[in-house]
Structure 1
Amino acid sequence: MSEAALSTVSGVTRRIPDVTWCDLFEFQARRTPARVCLVADEVAWTFHDLDLWGERLARMLRDAGASPGTVVACAMTRSVRAVLGVLATAKVGAVYLPIDPALPAARLDAILADARPAVVLTDVVRLAERADLVLSTEDWQAELSGYAGHRPPRAAAGPAYLIYTSGSTGLPKGVSVGHRSLVNLYGELADGFFPAGRGPQRVAHGLPLFFDASWNPLLWMAGGHELHLLPDPVRTDPASYVDFVREHRLSVVEAVPAQMSALVEAGLLEGRSRPRMLVMGGEAIGQDLWSYLRAAPGVTAVNLYGPTECTVFTTACRLDDHATPSIGRPIGNTTARIVDEHLRPVPIGEPGELVISGSCLALGYLGRPGPTADRFVTAGERRYRTGDRCRLMADGHLEWLGRLDDQVKIRGHRVEPGEVEQALLTSPGVRQAAVRVEGSEPRLVAYVVLDTGSVGRLRERLRAMLPSYLLPSTIVPLEAMPLGPTGKIDRAALTPPVAVRRTIVLTSTQELVAAAFRVQLELPVVDADSDFFDLGGHSLSAAALAARLRAQGVPCSLRDVLLRRTVARLAELVPATEEGRTP
């Protein structure tokens, strides 16, 4: 049987210009200098403005030691300075490394030790001792105004940026992505997404700046569109996000499916002022959301799929092209194959591992030739083994069926449970640890055997070691781990111990709130002192909890959930008329 009859599908062939994404931005700045390209910090920045200040910051970076091919780590707050950091790094010809300023010190130090940046740039005072350059939040323009422009020659063949992902060894690993891959992605956006409406679009940037998907809105900007950088308090609160979209008449919104669902519930598609295009990626989309958006009039919804190793997204599917969730077809200059364990393509319709080849592939893992050779295999051509179980349907669409290993996406972040296990095993008092992915909304559950200490102290130690998306939603103490025939931990047999039944006494108002906790967190039991965030809640689920309580008649906002974390405290918001109501 020829390969054409097997599970192989390719995107269109497109010429990739020998430029960097920064060259594309500078071309646009010369073409439309007076057009607004970025709205941030309540200021509308033109292409000329951003290009000018980017050149000044580039000169400052060069004077601090940045040069073509070196790494510039940017730990920036969500402001115009963060966008300038990306642009200035590219103008120098250096490699951009985004870092979340809120990372625990241990993880920040691990990333900096691995990446060995020539310059660390920040605008956060508490990180000043780790930084080479600190831009003040108030006088940064005065600091940069004395620097002349800087336009060195730039090579389009080298790395453009680094993104650190979770690693099973307990240490984060850096994925190095080249300019050619990024420019190929720009070509895909220009051909398939930019024509979403007539003229320049207003694009919402509500994604985390240290998330590789944040490149999508930046490339929209380089394509001549107007980018609106949502402040943190706005982007994390669905109601405020929707108000922002309406106030600024934004036409393109991108979010992970969980957040998009919350935005839809908050009224994103209600009224006359609604976005024209919704873009989702980072995790699987459920059928309910898929069907709802597919039927929404006047809206184009697109599902994106792609590992970090394949430059943001590798396949795309317009929801109106398929009735059930699909990851679609490969982007330009990209081939997808469904293969067996020997990397041989399987027949159409049969499940197997998805492997990707083409211009989207990253350069590899920084300083890790072994893992690079393991995942980026050479079989006639260079291919990336995604570890995702998929199948190619007869209509040419790819269907995602889950993971072949225990890796998972949580709120758009790729998570290796093994990294959490390593963090647990290095903690004092922990004899054994195992971490599993559980629940319909994937979450990490840790099982531990403790020699000393308590679950509370262990959780506090993890908070100091790991970013929030790697924290287990639940830590279950066990007397001993279940073992299989070979003496290894039997992970399938891991279950919480049967608790001694106890009577939980709740008032009627507390029961109303407790019921919302149980449904939102998929837990059988909570009591008056149960803390939403200690039980595994996060900002998105907190917003969903607030919406759930409002639907029950409780005047509850996201801020209330953040400040009143327990059942008892939130129950104080329940109106007296709700007393005795059945939730």
Structure 2
Amino acid sequence: MSSVNGVTRRLPDVTWCGLFEQRARRSPDRVCLVADEVPWTFHELDLWGDRLARSLQDAGASPGTVVACAMTRSVRAMLGVLAVAKAGAVHLPVDPALPAARIDAILADARPAVVLTDVARLRHRADVVLSTEAWKAELAGYAGHRPPGDVAGPAYLIYTSGSTGLPKGVLVGHRSLVNLYGELASAFFPAGRGPQRVAHGLPLVFDASWNPLLWMAGGHELHLLPDPVRADPGSYVDFVREHRLSVVEAVPAQMSALLEAGLLDGRSRPRTLLMGGEAVGRDLWAQLRGAAGVTAVNLYGPTECTVFTTACRLDDRATPSIGRPIGNTTAQVVDEHLRPVPVGEPGELVIGGSCLALGYPGRPELTADRFVTTGERRYRTGDRCRLTADGHLEWLGRLDDQVKIRGHRVEPGEVEQALLASPGVRQAVVRAEGSEPRLVAYVVLDTGSVTTLRERLRAVLPSYLLPSAVIPLDAMPLGPTGKIDRAALKPPVAVRRTIVLTSTQELVAAAFRVQLEIPAVDADSDFFDLGGHSLSAAALAARLRARGVPCSLRDVLLRRTVARLAELVPVTEKGRTP
């Protein structure tokens, strides 16, 4: 039978916040967080967390209510997570950089009792405002403690892409977080033989950002990377070396960029590398598996199963695997009727145990569909997997069209709904294409243009949901039943034309073509309109530097086109490019 169980582990009867408070009592003077180059001890963070919790309570937060935190990347964001837990409330992270319409949709669905922010443009939405200059003064008058948290209650609410066109919330409980802490404490913390310095370079709105927070609760020193640093692989590597960080976690695409930037060069290198959020390719697996003095681990888990559900050390397997279940967790590969399939046969992965989320608030039908009860409560992941003879799970792809893009879980249907809601769009289909998945939209327009359509999408969708290409068609291909034949979709044959580029422009254009995996670009081609993003922009800058062009990530962000970037290419006395 293709099932495998994690070890059974007794969980402490406490919330994740209680774990932090226990640590603060044992080691009050130890540094637990470094943010903006300012160290914070466990006692200091615990004290300010209590004071902010009282402020949230005065604003309306109470056990079980939702507190939305739209925070910049600073110590205030860390305090927000802690204070919400101390108030007994449910933490809802909101990216303040999201389009206003997206924020409105999330807040309308979650109906938070309190909105906490330190962002000027969101002050009118907030019940508690933490200003950059005076946030300590605003809280200094508060003291006192919060009611004890409900160890069986909800801890956080996080929104993912939804196929209906609206993001959907996933509610996760304290017991699941404490179970995850138990796995980290048992399998990961001992590797450093003492307190470790942990990089927090993950987006604060990722559920994976709980991993570094739980490291901190375990007595380790957490270093919050500023946004400009975490977006540039070279700066990230410099930060790791300067602060002597021993634990780094990133999505595989970013990990590849960090390795290319020299993360493992020299003696000063992290000891533990953690990857999750998307599949690890064979090349990256082999590269990290062969790295001396480094423990690399692949982490797998849907949002509904609390950050990560299975783990695999790369030195345990020669080829990519998602490994075995964590403690108090079961994994089984089943057919479409939820019957176990034989070992080695592919099927859908279903997960059970302490890791499971509480469900989708306000969506009982969806909760019942995905969280099934057949003997025990289990989550249908929608992932196609198989169990090998040695008890390891291998990920084989999705059973639906959901994809991971830069670590974000993306439903192409959500983008389709946004397109169909746009004026002038008669039909729309969105697919993930390419070896590094990118969204491509095919549209039939009654009125308007692709340019105006892109502008509308930027106003309503986060950057990771924006299509890399929007391709207008005269009509959609239809199958025998009259439905759109998605498999037949392809860009229209372009009229062959000659693209004339200077030698400097051709050097940059070649880098565009390789980085974006596209056949042709011209002088006015915009890197980001062609599907580039912050990680690939950093990789493009590195690719150009390798060709002798003094190009930084900032240059790519500001000089988005081939022609503008070509201005950076040095020219020799004979007029030749490097």
Q: What's the TM-score, normalizing by structure 1? A: 0.98
- List runs of 5+ in structure 1 lacking aligned partners: 1-5
Q: What amino acid is aligned across from residue 543 of structure 1 in structure 2? A: A
Of 39, 42, 45, the match for 1:44 = 39
Of 184, 194, 197, the match for 1:199 = 194
Specify the SS of the correspondent of 1:386: strand
Question: How do 1:411-422 residues align onto structure 2 when only pairs under 5 Å count?
Answer: 411-422=406-417
CA deviations on 1:235-283 (whole Å, 9 max, x unpaired) are 0000000000000000000000000000000000011110000000000
CA deviations on 1:430-476 (whole Å, 9 max, x unpaired) are 00000001000001000000011110110010000000000000000
Of 351, 357, 363, the match for 1:362 = 357
Shift of 1:12: 0.3
- Are residues 579 and 256 of structure 1, via their aligned partners in 2, closer, same or farther at CA, if it must alter by over 3 Å? farther
Structure 2 residue 250 is the aligned partner of structure 1 residue 255:
yes
Q: Aligned partners of 2:191 and 2:245: how far apart in 1?
A: 12
Q: Aligned partners of 2:311 and 2:135: how far apart in 1?
A: 39
- Check the 8 A contact 2:468/2:530 in 1, yes or no: yes
Of 134, 140, 157, the match for 2:135 = 140
Corresponding residue for 2:103? 108
Corresponding residue for 2:519? 524
- Are residues 36 and 543 of structure 1, via their aligned partners in 2, closer, same or farther at CA, if it must alter by over 3 Å? same
- Check the 8 A contact 2:71/2:118 in 1, yes or no: yes
CA-based RMSD: 1.0
Corresponding residue for 1:390? 385
- Check the 8 A contact 1:473/1:537 in 2, yes or no: yes
Of 448, 464, 468, the match for 1:473 = 468
Specify the SS of the correspondent of 2:332: strand
Q: What amino acid is aligned across from residue 528 of structure 2 in structure 1? A: F
Specify the SS of the correspondent of 1:541: helix
CA deviations on 1:6-63 (whole Å, 9 max, x unpaired) are 1000100001122100000000000000000000021000000000000000000000
- Are residues 578 and 522 of structure 1, via their aligned partners in 2, closer, same or farther at CA, if it must alter by over 3 Å? farther
Q: What amino acid is aligned across from residue 242 of structure 2 in structure 1? A: E
Q: Aligned partners of 2:279 and 2:291: how far apart in 1?
A: 19
Corresponding residue for 2:488? 493
Structure 2 residue 152 is the aligned partner of structure 1 residue 157:
yes
Corresponding residue for 1:3? none
Q: Aligned partners of 2:157 and 2:568: how far apart in 1?
A: 45
Question: How do 1:374-389 residues align onto structure 2 when only pairs under 5 Å count?
Answer: 374-389=369-384
Question: How do 1:114-513 residues align onto structure 2 when only pairs under 5 Å count?
Answer: 114-513=109-508
Greater than 2 Å deviation, 4+ residue runs? 577-583
- Are residues 445 and 208 of structure 1, via their aligned partners in 2, closer, same or farther at CA, if it must alter by over 3 Å? same
Corresponding residue for 2:569? 574
CA deviations on 1:526-556 (whole Å, 9 max, x unpaired) are 0000000011100000000001111111111
Q: What's the TM-score, normalizing by structure 2? A: 0.99
Q: What amino acid is aligned across from residue 494 of structure 2 in structure 1? A: A
Specify the SS of the correspondent of 2:280: coil
Q: Aligned partners of 2:545 and 2:437: how far apart in 1?
A: 25
Of 75, 79, 82, the match for 1:80 = 75
Corresponding residue for 2:88? 93
Shift of 1:581: 6.3
Q: Aligned partners of 1:532 and 1:22: how far apart in 2?
A: 43
- Say how many residue pairs are matched: 578
Shift of 1:197: 1.0
Q: Aligned partners of 2:62 and 2:575: how far apart in 1?
A: 68
Corresponding residue for 2:58? 63
Q: Aligned partners of 1:293 and 1:464: how far apart in 2?
A: 39
Q: What amino acid is aligned across from residue 112 of structure 1 in structure 2? A: L
Specify the SS of the correspondent of 2:572: helix
Q: Aligned partners of 1:578 and 1:227: how far apart in 2?
A: 50
- Are residues 21 and 484 of structure 1, via their aligned partners in 2, closer, same or farther at CA, if it must alter by over 3 Å? same
Shift of 1:577: 2.8
Q: Aligned partners of 2:177 and 2:53: how far apart in 1?
A: 20
- List runs of 5+ in structure 2 lacking aligned partners: none
- Are residues 12 and 580 of structure 1, via their aligned partners in 2, closer, same or farther at CA, if it must alter by over 3 Å? farther
Shift of 1:578: 9.8
- Check the 8 A contact 1:509/1:578 in 2, yes or no: no
- Check the 8 A contact 1:282/1:413 in 2, yes or no: yes
